[in-house]
Amino acid sequence: MPRVTLPLNAPLTSRLCVMCGDEGEPKLATFHRIPPAAWILVIFLGLPGLVWILLTSRSRTLQLPFTEECFRRWKFGRNLGALSFFMALCAPGGGMLAAEQTGDPSWTLKGIGTAIVLLGFPAFLRYSKAWGGPSCVAIRDQETVIWIPSDEAAHALSGTTPPA
Ligand SMILES: [Zn+2]
């Protein structure tokens, strides 16, 4: 899966769907770049970790070509990923609360374990064939680096020919 660097506000040079490589249409896609260390903070801090993520993450909306079918699947996968992410934020706090209520300290560890599993789910979605789509590698002032599943679409977008 190749990475493509897209200059800010550059016109789309390809209509090939970034997921399957078929002919598609330009769609607005918003990407969020979350620093990797933020995941650790979420596991151990829960909601305060989320505040830190909101302060340090960047987002960008740009046009990418998708077929209708792929765009729908990609959005569905992202919604599922976001849902499990927010459940992961609540899990450590829920575990601590349960530990306090029941007097059984193992609930705290169970809460943290649940958060780790829930955070792994978006990573699984990203690499799944059905719902995995483009994802953001870097957001810079003048360009966005996007990871694109379809080799053909990636080469068409970056204006190079795929290796034979
Ligand atoms: Zn497609």
Ligand 1 ion: Cβ-proximal residues, 5 Å cutoff: 17, 19-20, 67, 70
Structure token pair of residue 38: 């933020």
Q: Is the pTM of this model over 0.85?
A: no
Mean pLDDT of 130-138: 84
Q: Residue 142 carries which side chain, given as an amino acid letter?
A: Q
Output the CA 17–ligand 1 centroid distance in Å.
5
pLDDT score recorded for residue 21: 94
Half-sphere exposure of 83 (CA within 13 A, CB side): 7
- Which residues make Cβ contacts (< 8 Å) with residue 39, sequence separation at least 6? 119
pLDDT attached to residue 92: 85
User: What is the Å distance from ligand 1's center to 150 Cα?
Assistant: 9
Q: How far is the CA of 77 from the centre of ligand 1 (A)?
A: 14
Q: Is the pLDDT of residue 162 over 70?
A: no
pLDDT tens string 3-50: 999 999 888 889 999 999 999 999 999 998 877 777 777 667 767 777
Domain ranges within the chain, ordered by starting residue: 21-131
> For residue 140, how many C-alpha atoms fall within 13 Å in the half-sphere facing its CB?
10
